[in-house]
Structure 1
Amino acid sequence: MAVTHNSLSREGSGGLLDISSDNSDSSNALLAPLDYIRRVHWRSLVIRLGWFLVPSFLQGRHLSDQARPAKLGPTAYLDGMRGIASLCVFFCHFGYQSYSLMHGWGGEGANFNIMRLPFLRLIYAGSPAVSIFFIISGYALSYRPVKHIRNRNFKEFASGLSSMAFRRGIRLYLPIVASTAMCVVLVRMGVYEWTRPITLDHTYLRNIIENHANIFPSAYEQWRKWAVMILDGFDLFSWQGFDGYRYYDLHLWTIPTEFRCSFYLFAVMITTARLQTKFRFLTVAVVMYFTYTRSRWDFLLFLFGMVLVEWDHIRGAHTSHSSSPTLPLGEKEADKSVSTPKAIFWQVLAIVGLYLMSHPDIADTTTPGFAYLSSLIPEWWDAERFRYMHGIGAAFFITAVGYLPRWQQFFNHPVCQYLGKISYALYLMHGPVTKAVGYHWQKMAWDITGVEGDAYHVGFVLGACFCIPTIVWCADIFWRAVDIPTVQFAKWYENQLIVKAD
């Protein structure tokens, strides 16, 4: 930007560049351009910051290339499905603080609210969504390696798998470092103290009250606990549930599970890479059976994702022209038309899958429509009972959708695709933002509507109308500020360390 004599002279009332001024005035005149540049610099930063805070879906053509919607390919529907699942997890954690959500319709001879019916309860059911996460993760991580295995391109297989293994921890944990560090800052600033009285008043939140982190006597103690928590999350050698994140964000228990299952999946792919297809399927089936008998539902779902992706390669469900290990975008559409009898079969399987995912978390033996199904769960099953049917249901549903273009079209809708892009950010942000801001919105809504009888439900919905946009907005910002740069940083960092080809 050109700086003119006139523009500078207007900065003061005494004529900053007046040659008849004394030496002091002349000295001030020399500082004027610097002051102006500083003001322009900060003005530009403020404008850029303000524009960055605008949600990406409102930025249009000004959106950065990394955040711009990509061309959809035949597996893009899985991104959309993951986005919807992430939203359901958010609804679960938002709702269970006010209502008991674990019962199905009619469980224990009560709980006859319409929203507890099968299919409808999936809107706020978090556990089935986690099963969907794990299958899609197994699918996404296996997509490129399995393609290289089938093409007998073992050099690319080794290179690609090495790259994924190196970047996996960065991809999963760097956003967690940022989100939990944000929690520590909010706690130290006293933001959580502003909402603590709301969590202690059961007039408003009447069911599960999540942990509200306290201010430690010193910043050192607070940050030390945070650092230990982050490091403990990297433990690959224990199948015990990790509750280390519970203090700042209890929703993050799935991330160490994702990390652990990812590396076990990499080991299975390496072990079976050079086997013939039939023997690879047989070997993976044996591993899956062993995993099943140990009630390791999480790793079992990852393995199912691997099996499903190879089957999709075999049946020609999609072609690949991308080197990215994530779900490919920009691929050619394959012919997915199916005959009417087959279409009916896959539609029925999808519906059955949704029904099984509606399995109640508790009191399943007394819930109409699920009492018999609950009797099929083996007595030796050590994990939570609902994981059994939720995992089967998720496997049925994801498999069926791969054959149903109408379902894929739904998940390819721009809203679903957007939710897929911000899914990890939404997962990380909904807890801290609810505690810092969401409780204020909810209390404000209940103060308007009252909390007696149906007024409580009206207030809950009114509060949600403010909380949901706020959390989606914060997730959008976190996605662009942390999530996208994390992927770029992981690639850059790996490139700095690897041995370069001659």
Structure 2
Amino acid sequence: MNGFAPSRLSLSHEEKLILIEEKSLSDVESESGRVDLDSRYSKPQWMNNVGVYCRSSRLSSWTSTSLRVAIFLLPSFVQHRFSHERARSDRVGPTAYLDGLRGLAALFVFFCHYFYTAFSIADGYGANGGNYIFWKLPFVRLLYSGPSMVCLFFVISGYALSLKPLKQIRSRSFDGFANTMSSFVFRRAFRLFLPTAISTLMVVVLLQLGVYERTRDFASDKHYIRNVVETHPLQAESLKWQLHHWASEMFDFIHVWGWEKFGGSTMYDVHLWTIPVEYRCSMMLFLVLFGLARLRTGVRFFCLAVITWFSLRNDRWEMVLFLAGMALAEMDLIRGVHNQPPPQALTSPVLPLSEKPSHKPRDPKRHLWIALSIPAMYLMSQPDTGTEGVPGWQLLGSLIPEYFSDKYRYWQMWGGILFVFCVARSPPLQRVFTTPVVQYFGRISYALYLMHGPVIHTAGYMVERWAWSVTGTDGAAYTRGFMLASAFNIPLVIWAADVFCRAFDVPTVKFAKWLEGKCSIKE
């Protein structure tokens, strides 16, 4: 029996640490980019027409339901191609690039967790006189550098959660600020924990259906899984005990009273340890916003710098990233990049040639921010196994303070902050992250984070076993088999994230807003 007994419902912190690989990092999604949920994910008119067709054709209820489900399971970008409605405006908001940046980071975190089961990806290029592999070069390794992407996620979260409150602070709208902060605090737990509860409950169902058992031996077979062996969720003796254990894990998952590493991790998906970290940092960020709200701008920045230094000195790198996001948000407000254009600017009236405005002069610093983003990405490329013996990292490694425990995060942290700083000031860099494909990944980023683990451990491992049975595992055949499996697994994970986003992620956001409206005192 591969399951566990009722007496094993609780896991010690030491056991939870064993469940987590040190480099098993993942992302979280901030509340940025949710303003237009209704327009992005409302049911297209052509889908309503399907319901009319089903009724007019007198199809059976089973056939009608099956047709609706089949249409819903189509990826959202496929559904939109069938829509004859007028397309949404191509105008993007001033922070849309952050959504795109978060989306690519989520994709690269998925690549990290997918690739590191088969290949060693944590060490640096040329480490200890070896590892001269193209994919381990600085900049290139960012395509699968999970830890660096976590730094970006936390900076973006700090920025997104601070932006609206800081706008109200700077406009002296303190009543609005109080309402906003009350709403943020109320809804934050729902935003982070409801989707994770649903995704882990799906794992419970798959466990009891025996899906995980079909890949259990494969998940720990070093003939195939040659690098990181991730924890494969355990099957309980009955559905009752599985649900009991799941509820116990979810209770511990809301880990707000301690800051130990991986304290809120759960056996049902080891990648979810960042969610409790995100929640704690969000609450601390809200407290800082409350405390500094009525201070003058210069005093507020001074106090924020002191709090950031205090967080760094206490080895709270995640809090440093959130506070840096807050600082970047206010810097952008001071620069006026979030000011809405006047209504007449949107109409673009035709003027006589003599009255047409001259072209706006280009920012002379535009090349500076692109140039500065290069060392930022280099810092984000810090190897996860340390800098010792890695060409180009000896000096930087010697500058890491002794009190900083997670040495490999140090320069990744500063690189992530500097990169977001540069992108915020460079329209050419922002255009990279506002393309339709990148924005799509931004919309499904949280779902991509939640879905990639369960999909890899079930259907993903099945596909890999089939692929290696075709190519073999000797020498280069191992890599060919992995790439063959990737051709199926990567689209499969993206599709699962797309469906989960529409079925659960977006509805939980709307539910939290609805619940807040029902519970709040009406003014």
User: With structure 1 as the length reference, what TM-score do the two structures score?
Assistant: 0.86
**1:273 counterpart residue number:** 293
Report how far residue 37 of structure 1 moved.
11
Unaligned ranges ≥5, structure 2: 1-55, 349-358
Q: 1 CA distance for matches of 2:83 and 2:420?
A: 32
Q: 2 CA distance for matches of 1:224 and 1:291?
A: 37
Letter in 2 for 1:339: D
Q: 2 CA distance for matches of 1:468 and 1:499?
A: 46
Q: Does 1:317 align with 2:343?
A: no
Report how far residue 361 of structure 1 moved.
0.7
Deviations 1:315-370 (A, max 9, x none): 1112259xxxxxxxx9x9xx997533x22321221011100000001141210011
Report how far residue 448 of structure 1 moved.
1.3
Residue 376 of structure 1: which of 399, 402, 424 is its match?
Answer: 399
CA contact (8 A) 2:386 2:407 kept: no
Q: Does 1:492 align with 2:514?
A: yes
Report how far residue 405 of structure 1 moved.
1.1
**2:326 counterpart residue number:** 306
Q: 2 CA distance for matches of 1:200 and 1:314?
A: 53
CA contact (8 A) 1:96 1:208 kept: yes
Report which of the two structures shows the higher radius of gyration computed on alpha carbons: 1
Q: Does 1:465 align with 2:484?
A: no
**1:90 counterpart residue number:** 110
Instruction: Please show how residues 46-445 of structure 1 align to structure 2 within 5 Å.
Output: 46-60=66-80, 71-319=91-339, 339-340=363-364, 342-382=365-405, 384-445=406-467
Report how far residue 489 of structure 1 moved.
0.3
Q: 2 CA distance for matches of 1:443 and 1:338?
A: 54
89-98 vs 214-223, which moves further: 214-223
Note closer, same or farther for the CA distance 1:171–1:465 as it changes in structure 2 (3 Å cut).
same
What secondary structure, in the 3-state scheme, does the structure 1 residue paired with 2:260 have? Answer: coil
What secondary structure, in the 3-state scheme, does the structure 1 residue paired with 2:388 have? Answer: helix
Note closer, same or farther for the CA distance 1:158–1:171 as it changes in structure 2 (3 Å cut).
same
Note closer, same or farther for the CA distance 1:487–1:124 as it changes in structure 2 (3 Å cut).
same
Q: 1 CA distance for matches of 2:73 and 2:360?
A: 40
CA contact (8 A) 2:452 2:493 kept: yes
Letter in 2 for 1:136: I
Q: 1 CA distance for matches of 2:255 and 2:306?
A: 26
Aligned residues: 452
What secondary structure, in the 3-state scheme, does the structure 1 residue paired with 2:391 have? Answer: coil
Letter in 2 for 1:345: L
RMSD: 2.2
Deviations 1:149-207 (A, max 9, x none): 00000011000111011000000010001000000110111100111121232221101
Report how far residue 68 of structure 1 moved.
7.3
User: With structure 2 as the length reference, what TM-score do the two structures score?
Assistant: 0.83
CA contact (8 A) 2:253 2:266 kept: no
Letter in 2 for 1:343: R
